Chains A and B, each alone.
Chain A
Amino acid sequence: MAPSILHPPVQLSPAAALALSQQAPAILRSSPSTVSSSPLNTLLSGSEKPEQWLQYENLILSCLRTGDDQAAHACLRRLVARFGNDNERVQALRGLVKEAEAPDNGALENVLKEYNQILGENDANIPIAKRRIALLRSMGRLSDAASALVQLLDFSPTDAEAWSELSDIYLSQGLYPQAIYAIEEVLVLAPNAWNVCSPTIAPDLSPMLMQRPSQIHARLGELQYMAASAPGAANGSSQKYLAEAIKRFSRSIELCDDYLRGYYGLKLVSKKLLNDGVKAAKQTDDSEFVLPDTHTIERLNELATAKLSEIVRHSAANDRGWRGYSEAEIAAARELLADDASAIKR
């Protein structure tokens, strides 16, 4: 799919982002630099379109990314001319531009001070609060960012984007139960979206909702798996995590039946379970998930292996309908399969 200027450019490859930002001069030229609100003008030129402003916003993001600061400023000027200096989104975008241009840490500190000042005047300014958190995180002050996020989520607990960012921060700090809790919140807020945010690559909390095609179920499964294999996890709790991980991966495949990460995770977990030897521990209280029996795990493992090799084969041949998997994920899947094969040979 060709990148569209109307989608937030959060997950573009560098080449695609460059292509977008190279459109900037043409777009800036093709639309008028000021929008007059006089009735005569609206009569002649038709009404303004919301897409136009979205376009400017996204242009700012990709221009900043590719270093075209001039175009970013031009877009920002138009947004300011239309919405005024005090608009929350505009404030956040202006902050973003300043952050991007900051030469050193001192300048970033200044931006942070500005954010604090804005928040002091209006503490319900969510875009600025989010920018502040993102800035704190990119300055490496993880615990500050986490506590600011918790504060944000206290008064706005329906913000899936913030929850997923919180989960990511906790994950990077190794706090698995907290990360799992946060990602479960995302799931509660968006139970059917299978392409919502899981900010695994570039943790920038842009004021728009991030869209990353990674299923939250699978993400949750990954977290559970990581929690289970973390050193220090007690045997009982690790089994509990693995049981839920295998269910989460199964669910993600059930929702999208050629989802590579789901199969990968399923294979990983079932392999681990088979290698460790499943003790079909009789769970005393029935409230928690129990591991399925060995036979089921074996069958799941087979299914995942077969499906993974199918995906790898087809995408190596570049078949129609099998494109769009990320190169890195395919390579990882191939490696996992090869690992498996060599183990059998020995």
Chain B
Amino acid sequence: MAAAETDTTASGGLAGEMEVEAYRRLFPLAFLERHLRESVRPDARRLAEARPTTVALGAVSSAHGSALIRLGDTAMLASIKLEVMSPPTETPDEGSVAVEFHMPPICSPLVRPGRPAEMAPVLSKALEDVLMSSGMINLKELCLISGKASWLAYLDVYCLNADGSLFDAALISAVAAFTHLEIPLVSVGDDGRVFTVGGNEGKTKYELVNREKRKLTLKDIPFALTCALHKDNVLADPTAEEESIIETFVTVALDSSDRLVSIQKPGGGVTSMATIKTCITLAKERRHKLQEILMDSVEAMEVDQTG
């Protein structure tokens, strides 16, 4: 390991004799700022560059829809299970979606069993707000028999490795799980309960309720990008290390027609409108990229099934 060069500005003479890894842990802010001066980040990314992202559909066989995504080292597993409910009287022809975000103790040294992470319910709510307000899902498509039965989609997102930008990662995995969701064929028994009907559609003796509605038509899919703001620098898709040093974050969610779904800046330092605009521009670029990645994974899945 190479010794750090003598630093005259940040932490005085101490840095001269120190190994890089020790410097990184003892003076995290100075370490980050020295990188930013060269317009580069500790993991060798450019400031506006997001980490490589992969989407794998169908990771959980016990679910109706699922997706495992990686955003750099951050890993998220989203799964959807469908249950039948009787719809509330106000909306007799709509189904419902229940969103839950989990941070199990395996994902980060900061989470201990029995003490749920404070962040989890916050992200849960943010995720639900963005998913439902984007109008991606037409709840009417989750209806089985108006006023009698409709689907309740349980969306559970598990963080398997927490390395920053958890919201962005959770949103991609949730959206990907919905694109993978396949609704089972069902029929209704004499007792009014819904049951699933096995594979061969043509031959079954039961009357099917939902022959056409096997896939949801997703419109206006939302994608998000979190940016960390440090002085004049805008760092896209921060890692856990960067998140622990920097205080100000802006999360922008856009849908597939580039309309704003949400902007969140939870506290932190003050910032200008110009900086927010920069974040929106970055989020637009990221939206294009993510949409491509998602479409590619859907195609890869279809090739897998036919081949």
A and B part of one assembly: no
Q: Report which B residues bind A (CB closer than 8 A).
A: none
> A residues engaging B (CB < 8 A)?
none
